[in-house]
Structure 1
Amino acid sequence: MRLRLTEFRPRTGPHEHRVVQPRHTLRHTSLTAPEPIGLLLGDHDGLSRLAGLFSFAAYSRHTVVHIPLRDGVPPDEGWGERVDLVLAHHSYGLRPSRWPGLRRALKAGAPLTVRTDEARTQRDADARLRRGTRADHRDEPRHATHARTFFLFGSRDDFALTAVNLAYAAGWGPRQKGVAAGRSAMVTGIRLKDGPGGGHPCEVVVSFKACPPYAHFKRPGD
């Protein structure tokens, strides 16, 4: 996938950071933090681009990926307060409490275009699945919510697995019953380390919802 991004190089004290954002807003994609269950709701374009951004994050250990999902169109269903999304590797050491200052420093960004490697992403996602419950705690995505932002801290394989699941949701979501009438359809989810519970196997539910007007939407094969 080809991703059009904006790259920032802000400084906080003696440290320079690399932060990237999607160049264009994911208009029909939203996220609420898991309290106790979060909801990631998106159309085909939004879920596809999120899959690409997770794939990019998987192989960018020294980069923070910031996805300002609060800038999109408010959804007409769901629960909780909308939040932005930040992806960073465990090793980056990003503290959520430092993020507001870093976010304010995101000025004068430069255009950046990258391509993701879907075959490599699939291989690393498969490796993550094979490890299963044998993975140590550093291979589990951790999370935090601060300043209306949901932070995911993971490893290469964690982000690769989520990228594959989001691509699956983008592809199979449009085939679900009821989506042509504007209803959402749960397709997959994101599991978290030390999740808040809530009686659901996934702490963040991933659902497909077609972009309105729904009269123009056709399920594949219709």
Structure 2
Amino acid sequence: MRLRLHEFRPRLGRHEHRVVQPRTALRHTSLSAPDPIGLLLGDHDGLSRLAALFSFAACSRHTVVHVPLRDGIPADEGWGEPVDLVLAHHTSGLRPSKWPELRRKLRQGTPLTARTDEARTARDAGSWREQEEHADFREELRHATYARTFFLFGSRGVFAEAATNLAYAAGWGPRQKRVHTGQSALMAALPSLVQPPGGGHPVEVLICFKPYPPYAHFRRPGR
């Protein structure tokens, strides 16, 4: 998939970060941070582009992917306060507490076009799933919520697995029953979120497909 992005090179002290954003907003996609359950709700375009952004993040160790989602069209279902999304590798050095300062520097970005490699993403996700079965597996998604932003810190494999889950939701969500009436369809979840100590309900972010209104425009594939 071809991604149209804006690229920024803001500095914090002596360190320069590379940050990219989608050039156009994901208007019909929203995210609520998990407390303990979050909801990622999107139409075909939004979920497809998120899948591509996760795929891009998987292969871009030194890039922070910022997806502004709070300014989209509010969903007519769900819960929690809307948040933006940031994807970064464990090794990026990004701290959530520094994000507001960094975000203020994201001005006048440079246009960037990137292509994702779906075959490589599928291979990386498959390798991650094989490793997940091992007892010493530790390749998880660390997460934090700060300044109305949900941060995911991971590595190539787990970001690739998230990309495949989102692609599945985008591709098969339109085929689910009753979505043409405006009902959402639960399709998947973000994989392997790090759980807090002490037990309790597991932290999850559910991925749901939902067409955007007016729903009369929507037709299930094959109908």
Provide the TM-score with structure 1 as the length reference: 0.96
Kindly indicate whether residue 36 of structure 2 is the aligned counterpart of residue 36 of structure 1. yes
Inter-CA distance 206–135: structure 2 relative to 1 (3 Å threshold): farther
**What amino acid sits opposite 2:146 in the alignment?**
H
Find the counterpart in structure 2 of residue 175 from structure 1: 175
Find the counterpart in structure 1 of residue 204 from structure 2: 203
Kindly indicate whether residue 219 of structure 2 is the aligned counterpart of residue 218 of structure 1. yes
Alignment of 1:66-215 (within 5 A): 66-134=66-134, 136=136, 138-191=138-191, 192-194=193-195, 199=201, 203-215=204-216
| TM-aligned CA deviation for residue 136 of structure 1 | 4.9
Inter-CA distance 131–96: structure 2 relative to 1 (3 Å threshold): same
Aligned partners of 2:145, 2:133: CA distance in 1, in Å?
A: 25
Find the counterpart in structure 1 of residue 21 from structure 2: 21
Contact between 2:131 and 2:137, CA under 8 Å: does it hold in 1?
no
1:160-199 Cα shifts (integer Å, max 9, x gaps): 0000110000000001111000000100001301158764
In percent, how many aligned pairs have the same letter? 71
Contact between 1:90 and 1:138, CA under 8 Å: does it hold in 2?
no
Inter-CA distance 165–108: structure 2 relative to 1 (3 Å threshold): same
Aligned partners of 2:10, 2:184: CA distance in 1, in Å?
A: 38
Inter-CA distance 135–174: structure 2 relative to 1 (3 Å threshold): farther
Contact between 1:86 and 1:150, CA under 8 Å: does it hold in 2?
yes
Inter-CA distance 136–52: structure 2 relative to 1 (3 Å threshold): farther
Report the secondary structure of 1:107's partner residue: coil
**What amino acid sits opposite 2:6 in the alignment?**
T
Inter-CA distance 37–30: structure 2 relative to 1 (3 Å threshold): same
Report the secondary structure of 1:131's partner residue: helix
Aligned partners of 2:163, 2:220: CA distance in 1, in Å?
A: 23
1:6-64 Cα shifts (integer Å, max 9, x gaps): 00011111111100000000000000000010000000000000000000000100000
Aligned partners of 2:79, 2:133: CA distance in 1, in Å?
A: 30
Aligned partners of 2:95, 2:7: CA distance in 1, in Å?
A: 20
Report the secondary structure of 1:167's partner residue: helix
- RMSD between aligned residues: 1.5
Report the secondary structure of 2:81's partner residue: coil
Inter-CA distance 145–137: structure 2 relative to 1 (3 Å threshold): farther
Contact between 1:50 and 1:166, CA under 8 Å: does it hold in 2?
yes
Find the counterpart in structure 1 of residue 62 from structure 2: 62
Inter-CA distance 110–136: structure 2 relative to 1 (3 Å threshold): farther
Report the secondary structure of 2:70's partner residue: helix
Which stretches of structure 1, 4 residues or longer, exceed 6 Å deviation after superposition? none
Inter-CA distance 95–115: structure 2 relative to 1 (3 Å threshold): same
Aligned partners of 1:99, 1:137: CA distance in 2, in Å?
A: 29
Aligned partners of 2:138, 2:98: CA distance in 1, in Å?
A: 22
Provide the TM-score with structure 2 as the length reference: 0.95
Structure 1: tracts of 5 or more residues without a match: none
Find the counterpart in structure 2 of residue 50 from structure 1: 50
Contact between 1:138 and 1:154, CA under 8 Å: does it hold in 2?
no
**What amino acid sits opposite 1:2 in the alignment?**
R
